[in-house]
Amino acid sequence: DGGITQSPKYLFRKEGQNVTLSCEQNLNHDAMYWYRQDPGQGLRLIYYSQIVNDFQKGDIAEGYSVSREKKESFPLTVTSAQKNPTAFYLCASSQGGSGTGELFFGEGSRLTVL
Amino acid sequence: AQSVTQLGSHVSVSEGALVLLRCNYSSSVPPYLFWYVQYPNQGLQLLLKYTSAATLVKGINGFEAEFKKSETSFHLTKPSAHMSDAAEYFCAVSDKGGTYKYIFGTGTRLKVLA
């Protein structure tokens, strides 16, 4: 079945450590996204990528980094510079451009900083 | 900049009653509009989308939404609530200009009372 796979589902991190969240899609979608979800705040865009080897900052990119070396993969690194990293992270993808296509989401990764 | 407002962070209805979840958008040009549903600790799933075809859009699970340009609204309705409808619902808008950016509302948590 086609879809988006995020791993790990739960992750615990000590302060000062970098962690990487994995996102893989087999939908052959061009665009991929990372969102952060906090209670009562909806989804906020961290980074997005329209094509391999290219990505743009979203609204809350500080303290995060991404890469897009392959069409199907878009990993997110939460760095020690992110001051409040505890959150639910969602990866998504969409077909084509113009924003007409819906987003397909993974099951999410919950990061907790100890 | 585009924005989405969802009135009511929590809505409670009795089983069998009408469900009405409100969404208003801010855009100088009618955008593409989406409703998503999220169950606890899961990703988001598309309910329906408006992309400038029919103004009344039917989605999955008996939900529908009507695009009203004069009111800049895209409210979600379901004639008869079921216990399984209890979830969080998000309204989202995308930019027709092809920026690949989707803006989400803060969500409405629907509770269905037996």
pLDDT for residue B96? 61
First to last CA, chain B: 41
| B contacts of A108 (beta carbons < 8 Å) | 41-43
Residues of B engaging A, defined by a Cβ cutoff of 8 Å: 9, 31-32, 34, 36, 41-46, 49, 51, 90, 92, 94-102, 104-107
| A contacts of B106 (beta carbons < 8 Å) | 40-42
Average pLDDT value over all residues in chain B: 90
pLDDT in tens, B6-60: 999 999 999 999 999 999 998 767 778 999 999 988 999 999 998 877 889 999 9
Radius of gyration of chain A (CA): 13
Which single residue is written with the structure tokens 């407002």?
Answer: B5
Question: A97 to chain B: nearest residue by CA?
Answer: B98
Q: Which range, of A13-27, A58-72, B29-43, averages the lowest pLDDT?
A: B29-43
Confidence of residue B92 (pLDDT cuts 50, 70, 90): very high
Contact A91, A8 (CB under 8 A): no
Residue A59 pLDDT exceeds 80: yes
Greater model confidence, A8 or A39:
A8
Q: Is B47 left (phi over 0), alpha (psi -120 to 50) or beta?
A: alpha
Residue B99 pLDDT exceeds 90: no
Task: Supply the DSSP string of B49-61, one letter for each residue.
Answer: EESSS-SEEE-GG
Q: Averaged over A4-33, what is the pLDDT?
A: 94
Question: B90 to chain A: nearest residue by CA?
Answer: A42
Mark yes or no for CB contact B100/A43 under 8 Å.
Answer: no
Mark yes or no for CB contact A45/B101 under 8 Å.
Answer: yes
Q: Averaged over A63-77, what is the pLDDT?
A: 97
| B contacts of A103 (beta carbons < 8 Å) | 34, 36, 44, 46, 92, 102
Average pLDDT value over all residues in chain A: 92
- Beta bridge pairs of residue A109: A89
Q: Which long-range contacts (CB under 8 A, 24 or more apart) does A1-6 make?
A: A2/A26, A2/A27, A3/A27, A3/A104, A3/A106, A4/A91, A4/A92, A4/A93, A4/A104, A4/A105, A4/A106, A4/B43, A5/A106, A6/A89, A6/A90, A6/A91, A6/A106, A6/A107, A6/A108, A6/A109, A6/B43
Spatial CB neighbours of A48, under 8 Å, sequence gap ≥ 6:
A31, A32, A33, A34, A55, A56, A58, B100, B101
Q: Averaged over A28-41, what is the pLDDT?
A: 91
Q: Averaged over B59-82, what is the pLDDT?
A: 95
Residue A99 pLDDT exceeds 80: no
pLDDT for residue B7? 92
Chain B nearest CA to A19, separation (Å): 20
| B contacts of A44 (beta carbons < 8 Å) | 104
